Structure 1
Amino acid sequence: MIVSRNIKFKQILHYTWRQLLYYIILSTLIVILHDVYEVIFFNIPSYTIAALGTALAIFLGFKNDHAYDRWWEARKIWGLMVNYSRAWTRQVLTLIIPTSIDEEAEAREFHQKLVYRHLAFVNALRVFLRKKLEYNKTSLKELFIEENTYLDAKPFLSSEEFEIFKKQNNPPNYLIQRQGEDLKYAFQRGWLSDYRFVKMEETLVDFNDIQGMSERIKNTPLPRQYTYFSRIFVLIHCTLLPMVFVSELGWKTIPIALAVSFVFLALDLIGERTEDPFENRLEDTPMTALSVTIETNLREQLRESQENFPEKYNSENGIVF
């Protein structure tokens, strides 16, 4: 997620240089043909581009509105993840009660295991939703890695459980299943009453809902016809611009057509880059930062030493992942 109020020009240029180069070459070529070779074929009436521009602006506004709705829904879902994670830890610590003093040490280890496994679930779900994608910090070039390794979940699981976990088709769901099995164990030990068992199981269902809602956004993209036709319409509109301006503006056509083209190009790219919030791109939901927040809060609830807390997550170049 971009948090800086000012976006660096190199970040903009990274995604737009090809289109901008096309518009510069096209505008220059049209001006040369019109002024040097007196080609009048390009004298297109201005009202044609005005009508097309109005329709395109409405179309892009509709697309961007729905793209933002998807991004904001993803952020709200992970806001629920933060809230329910805190609630889950509180329930583990206050509702799972050993039946005797002799069981208190074992119960504390059990509490920690449930909380740590939940931290593994948070990190696993983040990796499960995202492509494995890294960035060159200087050029911001995207570098894809095909395999999800789930190494961020490894510190919170035993070595045996991690080996089983990483081989699952849906690793986060496997961890929720294991949490339910451990709740059953606690109930059988007498550490949970019927009512407390049901309440904690309801929290696990909430985590299932969070995963399901995230998967729905991940696996159901904004209808691709919006993305495809918006790209085509922007190309047509920006191609016609210099043909309309050239008879009145001459060489001024080049910077003015480029500026207007950039506006429509930027609107199209904003929607395209926002509509899929779980792709580990610059504009995505900051799940890594939220995972660090969750880990810090849960370790604090366990009353662990601050030495065990993860490092505070800071933005890099105005971007939070």
Structure 2
Amino acid sequence: MENEKHQCIVIGGASAGLTAALYLSRQSIDTLVITKDIGGQALLTDDIENYPGFMQISGFDLMTKFQKQAEAYGAKFIYDEVTAVEKSDSEFIVKTREKAYESMAVVLAFGKTPRNLDVPGEEENQGRGVSYCAVCDGPLYKGKTVAVVGVGDHVLQAASYLSSVVSKLYVIYRGSRIQEDDELYQELRGKSHVEILVNARVNRIIGNKGVKAVQIQAADGKVSEIEVSALFVEMGYVAKTELVKDIVKLNESKEIITDKLARTSQDGVFACGDVTDVPYKQAVISAGEGATAALSAFNYIQKKLGRHGARTDWKSLAPKKESPESGLSLRIG
């Protein structure tokens, strides 16, 4: 089967990746974003007060705006995990758990990616009931029974959102200590359809080509099964640069080394955001790096096509479809 082809693939869906997707799509580049979730670590922040243009905004709302803007100009999104990035002649092959994609250029913007649970049944059910993004996949399970597992603010924030969507929610809190006065915790405790299991863990995920149940172990060692349609994993984030170590240079901290134009040691591969060696890991800095990486990738693609490089962006470009936020009917072009 022939690989699905795009001009540029952006790996990662947070500040850097979403900004890169916006800038690329505005330059009429066929852009595919591959990410396990939208927003990354920004989703853990309820109140962002240092992003220009907003006195206060939640990480979820800010990242949602980023995504909608990129989509409005034609960027496409696939929710999957990248397992390999390979160089093939003049193209790049990006492999995921589901399929392989081909592109002229790649932008590495995956920052820190969701940490796996590492239990039997997880890998084979990823995308089939096992999810790492409550806000991305939660609506798919409206009115159903699901579980969310994790620790700290990660799991409580995901649970808060899921509780507004599903009919029954099990919150499997892996830690032994939980702040009783936590506002989110108290909110969840007050909902009759939410059951919180503290100091519990998931032993295995049950289901063939789809989650049917999860086996859990309680604090007292008792093992039981609960029937669910999905399991949301909220175990925090981890850097996963191992998958690109053979094509780009890394520093001692396993960060991707870039120059001021977001170029890596491999022609055609650009990097931005928390995954790079650029200091000061902030959303606004990552967004700026994403724009730089996108324009550099655009220039690279144009050169390969025998065309002129980046044109200035001080002009009005109409999104390619109706803006979901503004409600305005927008022109194609």
TM-score range, shorter chain: under 0.3
Which structure has the bigger radius of gyration?
1
- TM-score, length-normalised on structure 2? 0.20
Question: Which structure is higher in RCO with an 8 Å CA cutoff and minimum separation 6?
Answer: 1
Q: Which one has a larger percent helix, Structure 1 or Structure 2?
A: 1
Q: Which has the higher strand share?
A: 2
